A and B are shown apart, each in its own frame.
Chain A
Amino acid sequence: MKHRDTDTEGIELDLLVEAIFRKYHYDFRDYSAASLKRRLLQAREYFGCHTFSALQERVMHDATLLPQLLGYLTVQVSEMFRDPSFFRALREQVVPHLRTYPSLKVWVAGCSSGEELYSLAILFREEGLEERTMFYATDINTDALRKAEAGVYDLERISLFTANHQRSGGKSSLSDYYTAAYGAAVFDKTLRKRTVFSDHTLASDAVFAEMQLVCCRNVLIYFNRELQDRAVGLFKDSLVRRGFLGLGSKESLHFSSHAAEFSEFNREERLYQKRQ
């Protein structure tokens, strides 16, 4: 019945993913197969290859193709204060708990080009928590991480970001945090002075610090159940007792093997709290 595994294209696809893992240590073997296939088909077309075997041949012998290939294999959609109601719930319901800690650690896993990190940094500054907080922003896509460290976004996107910030209950004006230059909004570098950006994969890397809050939004949908379980296991291990986990608006722990280890803190906004 699982003919996808036995047809030629399925075999070639599996071998390509295996080859990328063995040679470059990027592990896409446990990503959602259907959407990974779509993205690989797009990459194949972009590189002008007729088969996945041909694409494998090129990628194996030309490491310079890797960044572009990674661009296809990872989905980089993001925005500041994405799903404003999530940030409002964070502000109104989670922040009061966070205030009780003398120092805080926050992990933004799968931070892409940084929009989520800057949103949190602004929220924490508005709430007076910034000075006691360390942020860890991680991703596997090094191009995205570089953009995150730069904190420069198209000016065209700012009206959306501003509206989102307002709807999230923002207490200041977003324009306080960036300067506009040559069609770009350059975000205040003091926003990231308490942030460590680093290359970290949820597929094989380990926990690195004890967190009060983990945000991993719109990343898990690209993983299969096994990899989702691994990632959520990492979050569970790194969270303090009663620490918080925020997921994307279409993600949940509903089908997770770790579901029982968390309580639904705000079901609608996908905010969970570790039990023990």
Chain B
Amino acid sequence: MNPAQSSTNLQALVIGGSAGAVGALMRLLPGLPGSFPLPVFIVLHLPPDDKGSLAALLHSQCQVTVKEAEDKEPATPGVVCVAPANYHLLVEPDFTLSLSQDEPVFFSRPSIDVLFESAADAYGSSLWAVILTGASPDGAAGLKAVHAAGGKTWVQDPATAEAPTMPRAALAACPEARVLSLSELAQELLAMADLPTVKEASHS
């Protein structure tokens, strides 16, 4: 699809959260090395007029690059793309990103379900998905889709979450997900940093 691209990462990490999740991300992401071998896509529920402050804040604290996702941007290892306020973020089958203003899901745009379901379609069993603290059931259906496609699913322990609604809903929909505290999650992500980068030479 994209001849300009010589290689594409075949695995990815997706993260979703809302209330309290900025703090959670501040504990998870700054520890990642700049050579983190996976692309990371994040949806947090933001106020609709946010102008990229979340990506800027995270970027200032991280070794990995953190930026607002751009439409048709190729997924890149070690680059963390955050959904802009008021747009859904989706992963295309050719591992580029798309933005859309389709209807909000559970009053949210961006929606975690939209990101996770499209990423599950694109990456199948090579996807890691994390649901963090949040006060909305968004993300539950998405996590279930990730599991159904063979991906790995992690949920922040509702007992340690600032807002337990989102992790609880995710666990109800996807009981197979592993329940982890924030520090355990941070360790798992660090362990992923040692994963080899899996690439295909080119695709058509």
The 4 nearest A-B residue pairs measured at CB: A34-B90, A34-B118, A35-B100, A32-B98
Q: Is the interface of A mostly helix, strand, loop or mixed?
A: helix
- Residues of chain A lying within 8 A (CB to CB) of residue B92: 32-34, 224
Cβ of B121 under 8 Å from chain A: yes
Interface residues of B (CB under 8 A from A): 1-2, 10, 70-73, 84, 87-88, 90-94, 96, 98-103, 114, 117-118, 121-122, 124, 200, 203
Q: Are B93 and A4 in contact (CB under 8 A)?
A: yes
A218-244 Cβ-contact flags toward B at 8 Å (1 or 0): 101110111010000000000000000
Interface size class of A (residues with CB under 8 A): 20 to 34
* Minimum CB–CB distance for B34 against chain A, Å: 22
Contacts of A252 in B (CB 8 A): 70-71
Seen from chain A, the residues whose Cβ lies within 8 Å of a Cβ on chain B are 1-5, 32-35, 37-39, 42, 75, 77, 218, 220-222, 224-226, 228, 250-252, 254-255
- A221 near B102 with CB under 8 A, answer no
Number of A-B contacts (CB under 8 A): 78
Instruction: Check if A221 sits within 8 Å of B100, measured CB to CB.
Output: yes
Query: B93, A75: Cβ atoms under 8 Å?
Result: no
Whether B122 lies near A250 (C-beta < 8 A) is no
Known: A32-B90, A35-B98, A228-B72. A250 touches B121 (CB 8 A): no
CB pair B101 A225 closer than 8 Å: no
A residues in contact with B73, CB < 8 Å = 254-255
5 A-B pairs with C-beta separation under 8 A: A32-B98, A221-B71, A228-B72, A250-B99, A255-B70
A42 / chain B contacts, CB cutoff of 8 Å:
103
Are A220's CB and B101's CB within 8 A? no
User: In chain A, what residue has the closest Cβ to B117?
Assistant: A38
A34 touches B99 (CB 8 A): no
- Minimum Cβ distance to chain B for residue A252 (Å): 7
**Residues of chain B within 8 A of A228, CB atoms compared:** 72
From B101, which residue of chain A is reached at the shortest CB distance?
A: A77
* Residues in B whose Cβ lies below 8 Å from that of A39: 102
Q: How far is the CA of A43 from the CA of B182 in the complex (A)?
A: 39
| Assembled-state Cα–Cα distance A34/B121 (Å) | 8
Q: Say which residue of B71, B103, B124 sits within 8 Å of A250 (CB atoms).
A: B71
> Considering the chains assembled together, what is the distance between the CA atoms of A4 and B122 in angstroms?
7
Let me know if B122 and A34 touch, CB within 8 A.
yes
Q: Please, which residue of chain B has its CB at the minimum distance from the CB of A42? A: B103
Which residues from A are CB-within-8-Å of B98?
32, 34-35, 221
A75 pairs with B101, CB closer than 8 A? yes
Q: Kindly identify which residue among A1, A37, A220, A254 contacts B203, using a CB–CB cutoff of 8 Å.
A: A1
Least Cβ–Cβ distance between B165 and chain A, in angstroms: 24
Q: Which of B1, B70, B72, B102 contacts A38 (CB 8 A)?
A: B102
Besides A34-B91, A34-B122, A224-B92, 20 other A-B contacts (C-beta < 8 A): A1-B10, A2-B94, A2-B203, A3-B124, A4-B93, A4-B122, A32-B92, A34-B90, A35-B118, A37-B118, A220-B71, A221-B100, A222-B100, A225-B1, A225-B2, A251-B71, A252-B71, A254-B70, A254-B73, A255-B73
C-alpha gap A34/B89 in the complex (Å): 10
CB contacts (< 8 Å) of B117 on chain A: these are: 38
Bound form: Cα–Cα A71–B6 in Å: 38
Contacts of B94 in A (CB 8 A): 2
- Are the C-beta atoms of B10 and A250 separated by less than 8 Å? no
Chain A residues whose C-beta falls within 8 Å of the C-beta of B99 in the assembled complex: 221, 250
Q: How far is the CB of B8 from chain A (nearest CB, A)?
A: 9
Residue of A with least CB distance to B84: A250
CA distance A112 to B196 in the complex (A): 47
Residues of A near B101 (CB, < 8 A) are: 75, 77, 218, 221
Task: Kindly list chain A residues whose C-beta atoms are within 8 Å of the C-beta of B10.
Answer: 1
CB distance from B124 to the nearest CB of A (A): 6
